[in-house]
Structure 1
Amino acid sequence: MTKRRVKDVAASVRARLQTNAKETNRPFQEVLQYFAMERFLYRLSQSPHAEKLVLKGGLMLMAWRAPSSRPTKDIDFLAKMPNDVDSVVQVVREICDQEVEPDGLVFDASSLEGRIIKEDADYEGVRVSFRATLQNARIHMQIDMGFGDVVVPSVVSMEYPTILDHEPPRLNAYSRETTVAEKFEAMVKLGQLNSRIRDFFDIWLLARQFDFDGQTLADAVQRTFANRGTVINVEPVALTPEFASDTAKQTQWTGFCRKSRIDFAPESLQEVCDAIALFIKPVAVAVQAEQPFDNHWQAPGPWRSATQ
């Protein structure tokens, strides 16, 4: 394809993204960011590395077509591959260079930078940053990869939704049950030090908008805690009134909602924590007691027995 043709594609795509931003009342830069992440996922799906990476994190809220979700600027994966920085950078490089039908985007493999990330005392991953461009618009790309986690009941094969009319990425992804389990495990482990306010929003949103099978969620919680070496706690600090009423925590919640332009969530962190407790505590109690949990959650709850 000629350079002129590539430029024409980029100009057309940019114009369509600007129209989309106006129609959806979102900033153009946000739409551009999501488009770049979507097309990176498509390159992954067309590459030899598709089976090595399982999509997780904030993009899953869009993948599940949650009616309302939070903006995100990075792509999170569970990686089934060597966890050294050089290996991860090489995989990302090859995905950036994967040949696909032109979509106007250029992923600059020469700008790749990788480093170890360690967000808590026990688990580390690899972060890769690089640049992408659409015409003269620059996009900062960030890929975070974690290792060694389990997905219950299993990895899900899914089609990721597209912004325009390009071929959609088809890739492996997390289950909602394991998403909840990992975020709850972080709440238990981090306690009062927890600053991952987005996890509170994500669990609140998932419980509000999706149904859950109780035993499947309990299995995900049990296996996630066991795999990460965390003891189950049915009264975690992060769900206590003392935590939610802490001025600093409430300020973090308010700031998160404002920055993410979330106007549909409760203003009170206490209300959010109460909703999460209603959802997750019965599951935690069953897991701790090693008892079955065959209840059903029909959003937005509460739990009901199978006979109800």
Structure 2
Amino acid sequence: MTPPVPPRDSPAGRAYNDLRNLAQRHQRDPAEYITLYALEGLLARIAASEFSPDFVLKGGVLMAAFASRRPTRDVDLAASGFPNDVPEVEQRIREIAAITIVDGLEFDSNSVRGEPIRDEANYTGVRVKVVAQLATAKVALHVDINFGDPIWPAPTETELPLLLGGTLRLTGYPDHMVLAEKIVTAIERGELNTRWRDFTDIVAIARTRRIRGSDLRQGIDAVASHRNVEIEPLESLLGAMPELVQLKWENWRKRQRLESTTPESFRELLTSCFAFADPALASRVEHLQWDPVAQRWRDLPS
């Protein structure tokens, strides 16, 4: 049942109605925008907390910094400076959720529940659920907190554009590390990969960012070493993939309403990924820089 539309006489009511109107203009589900707004609110509270230096933003929400928002209910964070321990993580998120910011959001500290994230036999982090409320809308959010992920050479300050205007400054993954993780994941999963968002994210970032080849290769090496993955060119691994997954790609693309921003042909999307990633995987970009306008690797400016 759709909750009633609240009046605009409070910060929560104004934010709710502004998000609803924004969703209508972009022909999106209002619930999607309310969820993104709640994720932004949680990040704002992390940035305002004493724990801010211990968290580094990664994942889907970070894509807004590359002018490429996508639907997500999760915040992905890399953590350091405290133990990989469920009660410890829960306590930090409870304290963060209790911080007051005048954005209309209320986070229920009592709703915070954590569980281990397990990747095969490894205990890699903690997944936390927390419930937020904006006027009449209630949203269950998930925070994935990973420990031990390499970030080369170091996190950077990121400016995240917000849905209702303004920006949020916080610590995030460097551009090349976002790409390195997605490229190594594509190698790791091979033709069985159904993480379509990784391929669309690679192309979206490559359209907007200049990337130093040496940084990208260093990042790829760090991630591959951490995961024990052997580096290979994507084209040799995934060249036959389009024929296997085209229908699944079309269905996912339609569900995500990405018809206007992604190609109908999965082969076309993959070809763009190959053009960006494979020269780096073949160690041919040490003295090159990616040009997002020309969509090619060029000599570094002298």
Answer whether TM exceeds 0.5 for this pair: yes
1:205 and 1:232 map into 2 onto residues whose CA distance is: 23
CA root-mean-square deviation: 2.3
Matched, 1:154 2:147: no
3-state SS of the aligned residue for 2:43?
A: helix
Q: Give the CA deviation at 1:177.
A: 0.4
Matched, 1:203 2:199: no
2:123 and 2:269 map into 1 onto residues whose CA distance is: 27
Which of residues 10, 13, 20 is equivalent to 1:11? 13
Structure with greater strand share of residues: 2
Which of residues 11, 27, 30 is equivalent to 1:25? 27
Asked if the contact 2:77/2:144 (under 8 Å) is kept, the reply is yes
Q: Give the CA deviation at 1:293.
A: 1.3
Q: Which residue of 2 aligns with 1:108?
A: 108
2:214 and 2:163 map into 1 onto residues whose CA distance is: 35
1:63 and 1:72 map into 2 onto residues whose CA distance is: 15
Matched, 1:255 2:257: no
Asked if the contact 2:182/2:202 (under 8 Å) is kept, the reply is yes
Which amino acid in structure 2 is aligned with residue 116 of structure 1? P
3-state SS of the aligned residue for 2:282?
A: helix
3-state SS of the aligned residue for 1:16?
A: helix
3-state SS of the aligned residue for 1:267?
A: coil
What's the % identity of the aligned pairs?
32
2:79 and 2:54 map into 1 onto residues whose CA distance is: 6
* Alpha-carbon spacing, 1:50–1:99, altered in 2? closer, same or farther (3 Å): same
* Alpha-carbon spacing, 1:42–1:162, altered in 2? closer, same or farther (3 Å): same
Q: Which residue of 2 aligns with 1:94?
A: 95
Asked if the contact 2:191/2:238 (under 8 Å) is kept, the reply is no
Which amino acid in structure 1 is aligned with residue 55 of structure 2? L
Q: Give the CA deviation at 1:118.
A: 2.9
Report the more deviating stretch, 143-152 or 153-162: 153-162
Task: State how 1:4-153 maps to structure 2 within 5 Å.
Answer: 8-64=10-66, 66=67, 68-80=68-80, 81-100=82-101, 102-120=102-120, 124-153=124-153
1:245 and 1:118 map into 2 onto residues whose CA distance is: 32
Q: Give the CA deviation at 1:192.
A: 3.0
Q: Give the CA deviation at 1:307.
A: 6.9
Q: Which residue of 1 aligns with 2:3?
A: none
2:203 and 2:15 map into 1 onto residues whose CA distance is: 35
2:292 and 2:123 map into 1 onto residues whose CA distance is: 32
Which of residues 269, 273, 295 is equivalent to 2:288? 295
2:121 and 2:267 map into 1 onto residues whose CA distance is: 27
Q: Give the CA deviation at 1:23.
A: 3.5
2:275 and 2:11 map into 1 onto residues whose CA distance is: 50
Q: Which residue of 1 aligns with 2:272?
A: 275
3-state SS of the aligned residue for 2:130?
A: strand
Matched, 1:304 2:298: yes
Q: Give the CA deviation at 1:103.
A: 1.9
Q: Give the CA deviation at 1:122.
A: 5.1
2:299 and 2:175 map into 1 onto residues whose CA distance is: 21
Query: TM-score, normalization: structure 1?
Result: 0.87
3-state SS of the aligned residue for 2:38?
A: helix
3-state SS of the aligned residue for 1:138?
A: strand
1:224 and 1:31 map into 2 onto residues whose CA distance is: 32
Q: Can you give the 5+ residue segments of structure 1 that lack an aligned partner in the other structure?
A: 1-6
Q: Give the CA deviation at 1:125.
A: 2.5
3-state SS of the aligned residue for 1:98?
A: coil
Report the more deviating stretch, 254-263 or 150-159: 150-159
3-state SS of the aligned residue for 1:116?
A: strand
Q: Give the CA deviation at 1:131.
A: 1.3
Matched, 1:245 2:243: yes
1:292 and 1:202 map into 2 onto residues whose CA distance is: 21
Q: Give the CA deviation at 1:215.
A: 1.2
Q: Give the CA deviation at 1:91.
A: 1.3
1:215 and 1:119 map into 2 onto residues whose CA distance is: 29
Q: Per-residue displacement from partner, 1:126-185 (whole Å, max 9, x unpaired)?
A: 21112111122111211111111122342111232223357x432100111001111111
1:165 and 1:296 map into 2 onto residues whose CA distance is: 32
1:109 and 1:258 map into 2 onto residues whose CA distance is: 36
Which amino acid in structure 1 is aligned with residue 180 of structure 2? A
Q: Which residue of 2 aligns with 1:214?
A: 213
| Alignment length (residue pairs) | 292
Query: TM-score, normalization: structure 2?
Result: 0.88
Asked if the contact 1:155/1:173 (under 8 Å) is kept, the reply is yes
1:123 and 1:280 map into 2 onto residues whose CA distance is: 29
1:245 and 1:121 map into 2 onto residues whose CA distance is: 33
2:263 and 2:51 map into 1 onto residues whose CA distance is: 40
3-state SS of the aligned residue for 1:76?
A: strand
